Amino acid sequence: MKLPELLRAALVIARRDYSATVLSKTFLFFLLGPLFPLALGFMFGNLGGKIVKEADQPRVAVVSSQADYDALVAARDRLAPLAEERPMVGLVHRLPEADAKTQREALLAAKDTPVLGVLEGGLDAPHFTGDVDEEGRTLKQLASFVDLARQSALAAPPGGAPLGFTATNESAGSLVSIRMLTARAGQFLLFFLTLLLAGMLLSQMLEEKSNKVIEVLASSVPVDAIFVGKLFAMLAISLTGIAVWFAAGIGAFAIYVDGGLAAAPPAPAVGWPLFLVLLLVYFSMSYLLVGAAFLGIGAQASTVREVQTMSMPVTMLQVVLLLGAQAGVGKPDSIEALAAAVFPFTSPFAMIARAAEQDAIWPHLVALGWQMLWVALILKLAAKLFRKSVLKSGKPFRWPWMRKTA
Amino acid sequence: MQESRFAAEATNLVKTFDGKRAVDGVSLAVPEGSIFGFLGPNGAGKTTTLRMMLGIIDPDEGSRSLLGHDRPLEAAHDVGYLPEERGLYPAMTAREAIAFMGALRGLPLDAGRTRATQLLEENGLGDWTMKPIRSLSKGMAQTVQLLGTIVHNPKLIILDEPFSGLDAINQGKLEGLIRAQAAAGTTVIFSTHVIAHAERLCEQVAIIAKGKLAFSGGVAAARERLNPIVRLKTRATDGPWRSALPAAATRDGEEWHFELPDSGPEPLLKALIEGDAGIETLSIERPGLHDAFVAIAGEAAAAEMEEGK
């Protein structure tokens, strides 16, 4: 069959699959799909953060003179910026009472102001009593507070101007780091989208097989056209979803992030517009490469159960591909990066990383041609396998040595 | 593409599944414009032969051509096919299902929709045009698929067991539709295990049993393979006329049944009259296709056909 007729037939099948999916009610759930993990992440992140904050901000009662307590608080405040997000031990002051032991036990048992322990003896003979790990954070922090408080008490008052600061937009060092980050983020996004969307192709032939429509299709058009049509229909469906998600994401970024789109991180090597175009193109290639293989593998399945059984190893395989491609991030001309760019299944991941790190365009044109060639080869093989094993077409396969003896 | 007066031809087709020969050296030639019946019990190899001829599967050996194309899919735009296992997308409307089947075979979608609406109206399904397939009865869905088979005005229609699952009224409608297509010059090939349909519709038949072709040719030629049956009732119960009856003659009550001897009716009549048989009734009947099938394919295949009804 000639190529224009094959493409025409593929388009008929793709159009049917696309409209059957996009015009169905379930497509709305598909579009909302990524919102669920985001919403859950947001909800549990906030809640969890709050719990962690409360749980991880231990307090210690300091039984000392007001001067010693003030010195400890000052030391704590000076050390606090170094701790950043990690919580510092909170201090609660109590003046010493006549019976130190009774006071200590009362403080340890107090439920209205629960404390991890009691620091006594002031700066001269500090001693901590409490339920903490000897090598843990609380004790180390308290030791630092005491040390700094003692040094401050001995030293002369600090003089001179505070540290000055001038911000620049970028430096070579920061750019390399940010582009590596962009490369990894691009790979993860590609991986996530492919993982999320290409898996659907495993079950694509099930509908036709269970409805017996496959006989009508196979008698009308070549199996190659069926595979091409189904693959591109699913790609179009995925791109429709991505367009909606991207639009929503960019909208949310512009609204909720200070500075809007101007606050976007520094541009990757090829610039943001081309990088985003390449991201879409490499997603398409990754989808077509992995999807063509999935379509072929899934076409062998007769039931949903068989498809589900295939899903796990297929997902694991995708993770391995991502890990393979990540080996070259940060060193785009290394053997690892070049190998990942040449191996068809890792090529899109490796090339999107290259787009973040190097500005040359021609490697992308070569890579796209190479990847398209492999899509065609895999599709041809998948269609042949389908005809052979599912439709039982042609002579059964025999190895050359078996042919001689047969 | 070759010039041919045959709409479909197959030469020595062989197909083996898991070591078992499902089709074993079948050769067929279906004249253009004919209604061709493909007879055989379930599992005889009819569907496999048709699937090979359509190019759904390739034969292990042999060759086939459809409308002069050695690669059957190249003739797909001029062929309509109704598979034995009916298949439609449940969510599609009746009109879209028909238009989609037409589009697969080269008919533009808009033209397909217009023609689908017209065909549904003509076949009493006008109210169901925009209804999804899942809401149609089995018979209606089957009609929709049949209309999808002819929506693109094919030159050749292949129907695999088209009558199965239809009630008597719909079987009659389908027979009418097949005749109408043939009258318009379309070649129709259909497989069946119900001889009566073939007898009513076909000019040409092929009989297949256990994967092998037992007969292919005109219905009349199949029937002529058997001598006519004589039914005789006489007043005399015995006498010299009995020697005129063949040894294989059987008696059913007062009536004798036997094949007309090769010498023909005149010597038989003369011997009966001269032997004082006292003929009360005598009829000479040409055997039906069922008898021909039994003679050609054997009693066992005929019994399987009866079981498969």
Residues A10-28: tens digit of each pLDDT: 999 999 999 988 988 888 8
Is B193 in the same domain as B161?
yes
Is A183 in the same domain as A111?
no
What is the rounded average pLDDT of the residues A210-219? 86
In a domain, B177, yes or no: yes
Whether A395 sits inside 8 A of B88 (CB atoms) is no
Distances in whole angstroms, Cα of residue B94 to Cα of each of A230, A281, B99: 22, 38, 9
Separation CA A176–CA B3 (nearest Å): 71
Q: For residues A229 and A382, is the Cβ–Cβ distance under 8 A? A: no
Contacts of residue B86 in chain A, CB cutoff 8 Å? Answer: 212
What CATH number corresponds to the domain at position A81?
3.40.190
Is A181 in the same domain as A328?
yes
Q: Of B176, B205, B223, which residue constitutes the final position of a domain?
A: B223
Number of domains in chain A: 2
> Domain range holding A148?
58-154
Is A183 in the same domain as A318?
yes
Is B264 in the same domain as B191?
no
Nearest to A391 among B56, B76, B88 (CB): B56
Is B175 in the same domain as B215?
yes
What CATH number corresponds to the domain at position B85?
3.40.50.300
pLDDT grade for B18, boundaries at 50, 70 and 90:
confident
Q: For residues A233 and A288, is the Cβ–Cβ distance under 8 A? A: no
In a domain, A279, yes or no: yes
Q: Of A127, A154, A181, which residue constitutes the final position of a domain?
A: A154
Is A141 in the same domain as A193?
no
In a domain, A247, yes or no: yes
In a domain, B291, yes or no: no
Is A183 in the same domain as A145?
no
Chain B residues in contact with chain A using a Cβ-Cβ cutoff of 8 Å: 16-17, 51, 54-58, 60, 71, 73-74, 76, 79, 81, 83, 85-92, 100-101, 103-106, 148
Is B90 in the same domain as B123?
yes
Mutate to test the interface with B, among A213, A221, A224, A391 (most CBs of B within 10 A): A213
Separation CA B52–CA B41 (nearest Å): 18
Is B188 in the same domain as B281?
no
* Nearest Cα to Cα of residue B97 among B125, B116, B123, B74: B116
Is B53 in the same domain as B191?
yes
Q: Which two tokens stand for residue A49?
A: 């953060």
In a domain, B303, yes or no: no
Nearest to B83 among A9, A212, A387 (CB): A212
pLDDT number for residue A163 = 55
Nearest to B60 among A12, A24, A395 (CB): A395
Is A391 in the same domain as A298?
yes
In a domain, A34, yes or no: no
> Domain range holding B250?
229-285
pLDDT number for residue A406 = 44
Phi, psi of A364 (to 5 degrees): -70, -40
Q: Of B179, B198, B223, which residue constitutes the final position of a domain?
A: B223
pLDDT grade for B308, boundaries at 50, 70 and 90:
low
Is B118 in the same domain as B247?
no
ipTM exceeding cut-off 0.85 for this assembly: no
Q: What is the pLDDT of residues B33-58, one digit of tens each?
A: 999 999 988 888 999 999 999 999 99
In a domain, A162, yes or no: no
Q: Which two tokens stand for residue A123?
A: 């700066």
Q: Of A125, A154, A183, which residue constitutes the final position of a domain?
A: A154
Whether A1 sits inside 8 A of B71 (CB atoms) is yes
Is A181 in the same domain as A314?
yes
Whether B85 sits inside 8 A of A212 (CB atoms) is yes
pLDDT number for residue A387 = 80
* pLDDT above 70: percentage of residues in chain A: 83
Is B17 in the same domain as B43?
yes
Is A187 in the same domain as A114?
no
Q: For residues A285 and A347, is the Cβ–Cβ distance under 8 A? A: yes
In a domain, A215, yes or no: yes
Is A306 in the same domain as A375?
yes
pLDDT over threshold 70, residue B151: yes
* Nearest Cα to Cα of residue A299 among A378, A376, A191, A193: A378
In a domain, B247, yes or no: yes
Is B44 in the same domain as B153?
yes
Q: Which two tokens stand for residue A208?
A: 């036709």
DSSP code of residue A203: G
Mutate to test the interface with A, among B56, B113, B159 (most CBs of A within 10 A): B56
Is B251 in the same domain as B152?
no
In a domain, B48, yes or no: yes
Residue B229 forms beta bridges with which residues? B259, B285
In a domain, B119, yes or no: yes
Q: What is the pLDDT of residues A43-73, one digit of tens each?
A: 665 655 555 445 556 788 899 999 889 999 9
Residue contacts between A and B (CB atoms, under 8 Å)? 75
Number of domains in chain B: 2
In a domain, A27, yes or no: no
Contacts of residue A24 in chain B, CB cutoff 8 Å? Answer: 91
* Residue of A172 and B274 predicted with greater confidence: B274
The chain-wide mean pLDDT, for chain B, equals 89
Q: For residues B52 and B58, is the Cβ–Cβ distance under 8 A? A: yes
Whether A216 sits inside 8 A of B104 (CB atoms) is yes
